[in-house]
Amino acid sequence: MSGAVEKVRFGFSVNKDRQIDYDANLKNVSDIVQKAEPTFNLCISCGTCASTCTAGKFTDFSLRKVILMVRRGETKGLENEITKCMLCGKCQLVCPRGVSTRNLILQIHKALKTGAL
């Protein structure tokens, strides 16, 4: 025996950390969107928009998820996520708080394109 210890693998692995680091996230996109679309503050994340979404039926798009990402300052993957929206307006029709969801998507897109990051 050479003295080397062989590792025993039990089939487990360490998962990537899933906690949100709010200090590292960018809050300026949320600020820009709130100024451009005041109804953003009315959203209570009830999920009515996500339940009627046509794009959500065919892809993994969720406006509720997008709004939470913007509020948290998570901009990684946000551009890819909002391009899935077809801007059909169904979500705006069913929103109980009257959030202008189409304009919200456009303002998020604009904030990301204008170099808010």
Domain boundaries, the chain: 28-113
CA angle 99, 104, 106 (to 5 degrees): 150
pLDDT for position 23? 80
What band does 94 get if pLDDT is binned at 50, 70 and 90?
very high
pLDDT for position 13? 83
pLDDT for position 110? 92
End-to-end CA distance of the chain: 57
**Could you tell me if residue 89 is left (phi over 0), alpha (psi between -120 and 50 degrees) or otherwise beta?**
left
What band does 27 get if pLDDT is binned at 50, 70 and 90?
confident
Mean pLDDT of 40-69: 93
Torsion angle, alpha carbons of 69, 72, 73, 76, to 10 = -40
pLDDT for position 103? 95
